[in-house]
Amino acid sequence: MQKSTIDTQLFLKIPIHCEQSGSTGNVIFKDIQAQPLKLGDWFAFSDSNELKIKIFGTVAKKPEWAIEYPPVGNGFKADFTVDPDLKNSCFALVKGGWLPLIYTFSNSNIIADRNIVSEIKARFSKGAISPPNRDRDDFIDYMNDKNCSCTIHTISYALESNQRKLPSVATMKEQHRAALKTISNALPHIKTWPKSDSDLQYLTDLMDQLRGYFNEGVRLLTKVAPLLVNSPSRRMRVERWRKMAETAEAENISKNHVAFIACLSASAADQSFNPAQKLIKPKINYTVEDAYNSMYDLFLVMLSNLLQTQSPERKVSLVTRDKNLALFWMGLTFADPSNSGQQMIGLHEKFLPVSQEEMEELAKILGEERITQTWCLPRSTKF
């Protein structure tokens, strides 16, 4: 994959005042990074409309009298509250959690889904706000800033298909070129990936390797989704899980598959908070087309984690406006793979609220090695 070569900075300017002298000035920070937020941060933000983030960076400039800040060139860390006047309608799903979109603008790689590409087309023309007199009302409006050095991946746009299956190589290339044209017309200064023929070949080869995984998920959802129309009562949940596991085994699909994990969560989570169920959208007559739509979202989750794990230095994020997809991501913990081809995924307790007795039954159904209450988190990385 392409790595950004222009290291344009994301700056943060904080106005300060000296009470003794009456002087005013600004402290400017560069190389801004943010600690990924968790599901609990989302709940706190929903309650208060204040989004608090731990940020890291370097002091680029400050008044000499601002002795409470480190010297120029030194590192710093601080708690920062995002201005609630700006909408945060886009979620940047990063390794270890999520962030407001603005924290992906500095030398990072964005997987933009079709809705984000449409937003870019609607908001910009030839690098300018469109229409020209429109006020900025969302973080996405700042993508036309020339300091914005992110690289937008067209991979999600290229993968989405009206054929209700992963598109052919020819169709993927055609849709990639359409997305590339849209982004280039709207934001000419923004880099895109894939750019070269070899990058595009890498993308199509990767998708060919993952077609089997995608198709397994579609097949499983068509069989299991009808079981999720009505949440089972407490006394019936274990039996429902057995039925789901038997279906996966009959289809020769791993119970570690993201589609199975989503179905497990959909069957257990409280109806007031059930992102997995809202992604799956279960019904009695669940078609292959329905399964494709749901599996496409779940597949983006796995693809994003794959790219993040393979190349953590490239700061890959999946950017979406789909709240349920974002919440589902927040509820997952991806363990560092213990060996090639194996991916263990943990679920937040809000996504799988079970009693001790149910946990023991799940261990019998899924395998003792798959159930643990002492989950070891992977090493934390800054975004």
Q: What is the pLDDT of residues 311-346, one digit of tens each?
A: 777 889 999 989 999 999 999 988 765 544 456 788
Q: Taking CA 265 as the corner, what is the angle to CA 223 and CA 233, rounded to the nearest 5 degrees?
A: 85
Q: What is the pLDDT of residues 137-188, one digit of tens each?
A: 778 888 988 878 889 999 888 888 666 777 888 888 888 999 999 999 999 9
Number of C-alpha atoms within 13 angstroms, CB side, residue 357? 4
- pLDDT on residue 132: 87
Rounded Cα gap, residues 188 and 136, in angstroms: 19
DSSP one-letter code for 282: -
DSSP one-letter code for 304: H
- pLDDT on residue 343: 62
DSSP string, 157-176: HHH--TTSSPPPHHHHHHHH
Q: Which residues, 6 or more positions from 67, have their beta carbon under 8 angstroms from its beta carbon?
A: none
Angstrom CA distances, 205 to 154, 172, 173, 209, stand at: 15, 11, 12, 6
- Whether the Cβ atoms of residue 357 and residue 349 lie closer than 8 Å to each other: no
- pLDDT on residue 3: 32
- pLDDT on residue 32: 79
Q: Which residues, 6 or more positions from 299, have their beta carbon under 8 angstroms from its beta carbon?
A: 159, 210, 213, 214, 217, 258
Buried b (16+ CB within 10 A) or exposed e, 300-314: bbbbbbbbbeeeeeb
The stretches of the chain forming alpha helices (DSSP H) are 39-48, 114-123, 155-159, 169-186, 197-224, 234-250, 258-268, 275-280, 288-310, 323-330, 356-366
- pLDDT on residue 271: 86
Neighbours of 348 (CB within 10 A): 18
Residue ranges of the chain with per-residue pLDDT less than 50: 1-8, 339-341, 375-378, 380-383
Rounded Cα gap, residues 68 and 99, in angstroms: 28
Angstrom CA distances, 25 to 30, 74, 75, 80, stand at: 17, 19, 20, 19
Q: Which tokens is 171 given? A: 């169709």
